Amino acid sequence: MKTPHKRRTIAILLALTLPVVAGTAAAWGDIGHRIVAELAWRQLDPSARAEVERLLKADGDDSLPDVASWPDRLRDNPETRDLGKATGPLHYADFHDPKCHYNPPVDCADGKCVVGGLEKYVAILGDRHKSDAERAEALKFVVHFVGDVHQPLHAGNRDDKGGNEYQVQFDGKGTNLHSVWDSKLLYTRDLKWDAYADRLAAQGPVTLPRAIPPLDNAYAQWAEESCQVVATPGFYPDSHKIDDAYVAKNLPVAELRLREAGKRLADLLNKTLD
Ligand SMILES: [Zn+2]
């Protein structure tokens, strides 16, 4: 009697777990994207909040955190697979300069990097002549890409697919550095995304790094900051081991990036939707 029930429970658990596992390969895991969206939502002014709610509702979505990982799921669905492929390069930027200076012709040819993705979709989101459907889609990309550009390994300058090819040991298991930064560092807190957002929000307003001129390219600055984090000595552990000292040093860095992303996403939406 117990077996079918148990089997069904396992099937449901698997169904719930799999999309999250699939998502972790491409970006901050679902948890990181949800935290960024939630932190931003709490800092939206009333008119931007109303417009976000209106666009999400028109698209049949419930909340900003719910849509924050949507661009990572596009390839899982036959109907959206082509859009997923076309927008794949917009989730990251590959820097070529050891000093992390952003060089658009090389690092973002034809606008195909996360900086170009933000430029493209922020413009659509802010264009009142576009349809609600187009603007809702743009909103989902913007929420996601602001998160991605703050994940340091989405804008690094090593030729290793953003740390995906750098194998490490963590908690007695083999993984890679990208996966550690996507979600495994955050999982060490053992918090669900909403409780995690509460924890970060309780730290108060984040002080953002000073904007580097020209001010019209904030997205490039965010990417350069990520690159600088990746270029920090010790970011790539020579031992290929993620030990307690690595977590103690880098978890606060990951959390600061989430808080910066949340604040910047809120500022961006407030400006674009007012
Ligand atoms: Zn992504």
CATH of the domain at 130: 1.10.575.10
Distance from the CA of 241 to the center of ligand 1, in angstroms?
25
Q: How far is CA 78 from CA 21, 82, 83, 84, in A?
A: 19, 8, 10, 10
* Total domain count, the chain: 1
What are 236's two structure tokens? Answer: 């790539």
Distance from the CA of 240 to the center of ligand 1, in angstroms?
25
pLDDT attached to residue 24: 36
Asked whether residue 253 is assigned to any structural domain, the reply reads yes
CA 243 to CA 126: how far, in whole Å? 44
Asked whether residue 19 is assigned to any structural domain, the reply reads no
Domain that holds residue 206: 28-273
Asked whether residue 15 is assigned to any structural domain, the reply reads no
pLDDT tens, N- to C-terminus, the chain (274 residues): 333 344 444 444 444 444 444 333 446 789 999 999 999 999 999 999 999 999 999 999 999 999 999 999 999 999 999 999 999 999 999 999 999 999 999 999 999 999 999 999 999 999 999 999 999 999 999 999 999 999 999 999 999 999 999 999 999 999 999 999 999 999 999 999 999 999 999 999 999 998 877 656 899 999 999 999 999 999 999 999 999 999 999 999 999 999 999 999 999 999 999 8
3-state secondary structure of 57: helix
Asked whether residue 23 is assigned to any structural domain, the reply reads no
Q: How far is CA 142 from CA 76, 146, 248, 268, in A?
A: 20, 6, 31, 9
Distance from the CA of 82 to the center of ligand 1, in angstroms?
16
Asked whether residue 153 is assigned to any structural domain, the reply reads yes
> Beta 167-170 vs 241-242: how paired, if at all?
parallel
Asked whether residue 14 is assigned to any structural domain, the reply reads no
Distance from the CA of 108 to the center of ligand 1, in angstroms?
16
Distance from the CA of 123 to the center of ligand 1, in angstroms?
19
Distance from the CA of 27 to the center of ligand 1, in angstroms?
4
pLDDT attached to residue 215: 58
Distance from the CA of 9 to the center of ligand 1, in angstroms?
30
pLDDT attached to residue 251: 98
pLDDT attached to residue 13: 44
pLDDT attached to residue 1: 35
Asked whether residue 101 is assigned to any structural domain, the reply reads yes
pLDDT attached to residue 217: 85
Distance from the CA of 148 to the center of ligand 1, in angstroms?
5
Distance from the CA of 2 to the center of ligand 1, in angstroms?
40
